[in-house]
Amino acid sequence: MRFRVRKTAHVLERVGLAMAGAACGLFVGAYVGSAISHLTTQGFLMVMMLLGVIGFYLGIDTPQLPFDEEHSRIDAAEFLSSAGTLFATFAAFASVAVIVLRLDPHLAWSWLVLVAWIAGVAMQIVAGAKARMRK
């Protein structure tokens, strides 16, 4: 019984993270899509949300390597996960700030946000896949 409760809690947590990723992707897509006319499509919004779902589901809760002080090495999956989360959430935070404050930043800022988002979720996806392959 206890195992099922823990498993259910873990699934609920992961679904919540995926929903947070979708929300972040929606904000990034809404901001970037409104600033770059070629990206003003529902398909673009869906791709941004889907990347967020996959990235946040796989990349935030990665299994860590067991700590071995004698043979210490960098856990690439953990590093990619943390850097990817930072980049992706920075892009989402910047997007929300631009939307809420009704700012009109330079077009280069929109491209920077888009690149940060894509790089961040890509790092999360790679980190999550790498961590799960070593299990």
Closest CA to 94 of 83, 80, 79, 105: 105
Supply 115's token pair. 């690149």
pTM for the predicted model, two decimal places: 0.87
Q: At what angle do helices 107-133 and 42-59 cross, to 10 degrees?
A: 40
Q: Which amino acid is at 15?
A: V
- Residue spans of the domains in the chain: they are 2-63+73-133
Closest CA to 25 of 95, 104, 100: 95
What digits encode the pLDDT tens for the residues 76-115?
888 899 999 999 999 999 999 999 999 999 999 999 999 9
CA-to-CA distance for 108 and 121, rounded, in angstroms? 20
What digits encode the pLDDT tens for the residues 65-85?
776 666 667 788 888 999 999
Supply 133's token pair. 């392959």
